Each structure stands twice: as structure tokens, then as C-alpha cells.
Chain A
Amino acid sequence: MTSSGSEALDAFYEALLDDDARQLYDRAPCGYLSTAPAGTIIKVNQTFLTLTGYDREQLIGQLRFAQLLSAGGRIYYETHYAPMLSMHGEAHEIALDIICADGSRLPVLVNSVLERDADGAPMVVRTAVFDARMRREYERELLRAKQRAEESEARATALARTLQQTLIPPTPPAIPNLDVAAAYRPAGDGSEVGGDFYDVFQIGAGDWVVAIGDVCGKGVHAAVVTALVRHTLRAATVQHAEPSKALWTLNEVLRQHDTGRLCSVALLRLRQADGEWTGVVSCAGHPLPLLRQSSGTVRTVGKPGALLSVIDAPHLHDAQISLPPGDTLLLYTDGITEGRSGKDFYGEARLVAATACSFDSAEALTSAILSEVLEFQAGTPRDDIAVVAIRVPV
């Protein structure tokens, strides 16, 4: 409290003992003024005059309260304060600056009430004015801190989003003489990066690898393991021609890193020789890929193998696939088959039926499956969804 404020307070208490209404008004520990509905000041107490340095004669009948305010405060008064008073009959804790008699600015907090006569017509506005110099300085500090916090939050959000973008599986590269498409959708609203991934890359001429997998969990920690899995697979497939051996290496790396996160992968090696495509696939705890033959028949390919990162010597198998023109291979994560609508799962039967339909391109198949699964879950997937389709052109 300022010195004039504390003097006023002392005088106020003295007056309180004497029950002197005049003194209680004039020496109230806040500025107090009454204005006509149009704003003209009709009554003002001594504390207000002391705070602002004006003489009573300068104010009464001469000025409207808004005219004592800074220009910005005046606009605020007309656009916010006056309408609020008119509609609510009161306005509280409005921060304004009064321009004092000597031209200095006095930050104040203002409360007003509108008194109406028996017919409801506005009669008088009573306003209490509190010196708010210290509070306003503190608020400015708060405001600056808030702005800084908002700026760094915006930076952190932008950084997180950029990092997430790098973790989301990229559009697969174009493979000569092969039609490849992929779709990925993170769980929920997509604000959190998930553990599903896919990767399509080249080893040599007519020699390609397609990987799809699911690292248990979501968020940053799952994303770190997902990145490790992808990089390890890229290195291991160069070393090992058989997918099962590459997966074995991946298992060793995961065990060594002690990530504690289970991981399922379907790893497919594609080779083209004499214009014919063939594949070798190994599945580690992952749903077996579906093969759609040109006739429309759909069946699974490969043999089930053990989930990775569980034991040191998982059982893993390789299976040969021939891919004549018109055949399509579909690799997917369990976010598809385990998509739920109430107690009902989307399930493998629906996926097989969707895959059996005729389609023009790999992209048409992946987007049809993605939209069907999303629709099944009313647009919000509970788990990540990843799907890759490889179609041998006719």
C-alpha cells in the first residue's frame, strides 16, 4: 500500500470508530466516484483526488470518467467496460490507467456497479478505484514470463513435430517392374508417434527388402526402439541373404540393448531374375502376409516364428514365394485386424475379403483397406495401422 493509501486507511479506521459517514466516504482506502449514466463525474471522494492530484472542481460536472483514462484505456472502456456495465449492471477488476493531473499514469483496478431507478432506467454508476502500481508491475513480469513460456512451448511443439515427421515411415521408393504402395496411420488423433513401421529399400539390382513391424508401446521410447530396429534391419539384410538370419541378428541387437520392448517383424526379400519375381519371407511374431493370386484367391504365406526381444534363440523360418504377374502380396500390422467396433474385431476374415476384391493398383488396395478399417473404428484407430502392398504388374 502506498503512503497516501495507508494514511487513508488510518483515517478510515478512525472514522469507523466515530461512525462518521462523510469521513468514511472521503477517507475510504480506495478512490470512490459516482457518475451519471452518460459518464459525467458527479461525486468524488478525497482519496481519489489525493491519488490523482485533481481538484474536485476540475472533475465534478466537468469530465467523464473515461476522459481521465489513457487512450488505450478509453477504447477499452467504450468497447468492453461500458457495454459490460450496461448488460451486467457491474464490472469487476478492470485494469486501467488513469492520467493524473501532473500527466503521470496511475495503474488502477476498477470495480463499478450500475444503480437503476424503480423503472429500471440507469441512475448512477458507482466506481471504486484501487491503486494497482505494484500489482501491475508484478503482472507485467507475469505477462513477460507467460509470453516466454508460450514461445518456448511453441518451439518445443515445433521440434517434437519435426522429429515425429522423421520417424513416420516415408513413402516407399518406386521399384522398377513392381507396383508398391504403403499406408500408415498413428493411433488416436495422431499426436503421438507410435511403434508401427515399414521400410522398403534396395540391396542390389533386382534385389529388394520390404520390412514391416510393430514395436510394443508408443511415444518417444517406442520410437527410439523403432529407429533402432529399422537401422539394424538395413544393416543385417546386407549381411544376410536369408530374412530369418537378419531377424536373428535383430533379436541379438535388441537383447543386447536391453530395450525391454517386444517387437514383431515380417521381413520379405524380393528378387527379380529373368523377368520373374520371387520372394523369401520370415515372420517373427508377426501376422503372416496375405498373397492374392490373380484368380482372386487369398491365402497366407510364410510360417509363424517367435516374437523378438524375448529369448536369445527364437525359432524363425524362411518361406519361398513365387510371384507371377497379377499376384499381390499384402503385409500389415495387427492394428488392422485388431481394429475394434464395440466388442467386434475387424479381424482377418474382413481383411481377406477386402483383399479379394479387384483393384487397379497397389495404392488402390492399401487406401481401400485403410479407409475400411478407419470406418470400422469410427475414424479413430485405437492402435497404429501400417500396411504395404506389392503387386506384380500383368
Chain B
Amino acid sequence: MLFAHGFGCDQNMWRYIAPRFEDEFRVVLFDHVGAGNSDPSAYEPQRYSSLSGYAGDVVAICTELELRDVVFVGHSVSAMIGVLAAAAAPELFTKLVLVGPSPRYINDADYVGGFSADDINDLLESLESNYLGWSSAMAPVIMGRADRPELGEELTESFCRTDPSIARQFAQVTFLSDNREDLTAVATPTLILQCANDPIAPVSVGEFVRDRMPNASMVLLNATGHCPNLSAPEETAAAIEQFVRKLTPALR
């Protein structure tokens, strides 16, 4: 199982979920370039100017680690990154779990993504305003961690800290992306986990993804917000287990 975190945080997002699958699966966690404990020097603005750059990384991780029959679990923007990866290399993936997916955040004619273009500018301003204090203070922490990967404490300390300039571009790429056309091409069995009250990816968007993908089902969680993996780990993990362990119910 390969877990991919969304915009804003790092692989710590999965700390309540991923360990539950270690009995049966090889669990692989990673930080997108620019987030968490990744090497910021690996960031190339050109490569990461669209989500396909990130999807390429997912495929590269599978290839490098020789992963087969991958269950990909992607949160938020990484749900679409997983869809793009599965479209590019369908043979790698047996199942996709999309937590709070949205193929397009900005409203477009009849399609309601939930946001206007101005809202995204507002977000960029919000990011900048919050990174103002962080950029200088957090840089040493981010730098210092590269050569000391052992730490649990500092990892938590640096949770959600991303390189500001990378975060800015990642925000733009994420919230200006339009992957509605990519959904139909992915026939991999897919589970959509949709929160009841998600201000970022509303229920109608989850339904849109389900209806567009040839082989997708949706579970509506009671959890509110955009991060059920943190706010409702029990419910989230149970739904994922149901989907990925279907073949061996007797063992449960």
C-alpha cells in the first residue's frame, strides 16, 4: 500500500491509518518534493508545474521499490495524482483509495467545484501571510532535518512546514488543476471516501468523481472537514479495510 499526502502537510497525515495495514501489506509512505523531510533541492519548478510531475514521482517510487499490485491511497490533491499515475501506468495498481478527491476546485459552468478563481488568489495571500513568520524561522529546521532523519520529535515539530516558494506553486498547481477528463480513463477498482461536510471537496464533487470513473464506489463518512484520516481515523481506516481486505473476510 502506497500512501500519498495532500497539499499542506506530509506523510505524518497517515500516522493513525497506515500502521493498521502493516500486518498484511508492505506499507510505503513518502513526502512529496518540497514537503516534510523531502530534499528541497530536488524541486524543479518546470517538472512540478502540473500534477503529472507528481504522478511521475509516484510511478518512479513504484518502479524503484519494485512495487507490484499496489493499493494507492491518496488524500486530497494526491487522490488526483493517483488517478494520473494509474492512467500512466495502469499495470502497477490494483486498487485506488481516494480520500476527499476533487478533479477541479474552481466552478465551471454547471460544474460546482466550490471555489472561484478569486478564492484561490485569496488562498495564495493567506499562505504568504502565514509563511511570512515561518520562512526564516522554519528554514533551519527544514535544513537541519535532512541529515538527521531519525527523529520523531522534530518531525512532529516540523509537521505541515513546507518550503514557502514550493508551497505557493504547489497550491497554484493543485487548485488550478482540471482533471475531470482524466477520470474516465482509469478503470482500476476505486474507493472514494467522502466526508459529510468537506469545505474543500463537497459531496457533489465526490459523486462526480464516482460517476465519471468506470469502476468506482463511494463511502460517505460521518467525519466532517477535509482530513478524516486525522479527525476520524477509526472510521476512515475501517472503510479502507473493507475495500482492500475484501478477499479475506474470514481472517478479520
Contacts and interface: CB of A to CB of B under 8 A. Distances in A.
Interface of A: 37-39, 64, 66-67, 70-80, 82-84, 86-88, 93-97, 122, 136, 139, 142-143, 146
Nearest to B10: A83
A70 B126 CA distance: 9
Nearest to B133: A93
Contact of B130 (A71, A80, A87): A80
A114 to B, nearest CB: 11
A78 B118 CA distance: 18
A87 B114 CA distance: 27
Contact of B132 (A74, A86, A143): A143
B224 A39 contact: yes
B159 A87 contact: yes
Interface in B103-137: 115-116, 118-130, 132-133
Contacts of A94: 130
B67 interface: no
Contact of A76 (B116, B127, B156): B127
A72 B224 contact: no
Contact of A88 (B13, B119, B159, B175): B159
Given A75-B175, A80-B9, A82-B226, A37 B231 contact: yes
27 contacts: A37-B231, A38-B197, A38-B225, A39-B224, A39-B225, A64-B224, A66-B199, A70-B119, A70-B126, A71-B115, A71-B119, A72-B121, A72-B124, A75-B123, A75-B199, A78-B199, A79-B8, A82-B231, A83-B160, A83-B230, A86-B231, A87-B156, A87-B230, A88-B159, A95-B129, A95-B132, A97-B126
Nearest to B120: A72
A75 B9 contact: no
Contacts of B231: 37-38, 82, 86, 122
Contact of A70 (B122, B198, B224): B122
Given A71-B115, A72-B119, A84-B160, A78 B226 contact: yes
A73 B199 CA distance: 11
Contact of B8 (A74, A83, A136): A83
A176 B121 CA distance: 62
B225 A72 contact: no
Interface string B141-167: 000000000000000100110000000
Interface of B: 6-9, 12-13, 15, 76, 115-116, 118-130, 132-133, 156, 159-160, 175, 197-200, 223-227, 230-231
A37 B122 CA distance: 26
A39 B129 CA distance: 23
Nearest to A40: B224
A66 B231 CA distance: 15
Contacts of A37: 231
A73 B132 contact: no
A32 B182 CA distance: 45
A78 B200 contact: yes
A57 B159 CA distance: 36
Given A71-B115, A76-B126, A96-B126, A84 B159 contact: yes
A122 B234 CA distance: 13
Given A71-B115, A87-B159, A79 B122 contact: no
Label chain A's interface by main secondary structure: helix
Given A72-B124, A84-B159, A88-B159, A79 B119 contact: no
A132 to B, nearest CB: 10
Contacts of B224: 38-39, 64
Contacts of A70: 119, 122, 126
A79 B126 contact: no
A80 B159 CA distance: 9
Nearest to A140: B129
Contacts of B226: 78-79, 82
B122 A72 contact: yes
B1 to A, nearest CB: 21
Contact of A82 (B119, B124, B125, B225): B225
Given A82-B231, A87-B160, 8 more contacts: A72-B121, A72-B127, A75-B199, A78-B198, A79-B200, A82-B227, A82-B230, A83-B9
B124 A142 contact: no
A72 B8 contact: no
A80 B6 CA distance: 10
A37 B118 CA distance: 29
A71 B231 CA distance: 21
Given A76-B130, A79-B7, A84-B159, A71 B225 contact: no
A143 B128 contact: yes
Contact of A78 (B130, B159, B227): B227
A80 B133 contact: no
B221 to A, nearest CB: 12
Contacts of A139: 129, 132
Given A38-B225, A79-B9, A82-B227, A74 B160 contact: no
Q: Which of A39, A77, A87 has the most CB of B within 10 A?
A: A87
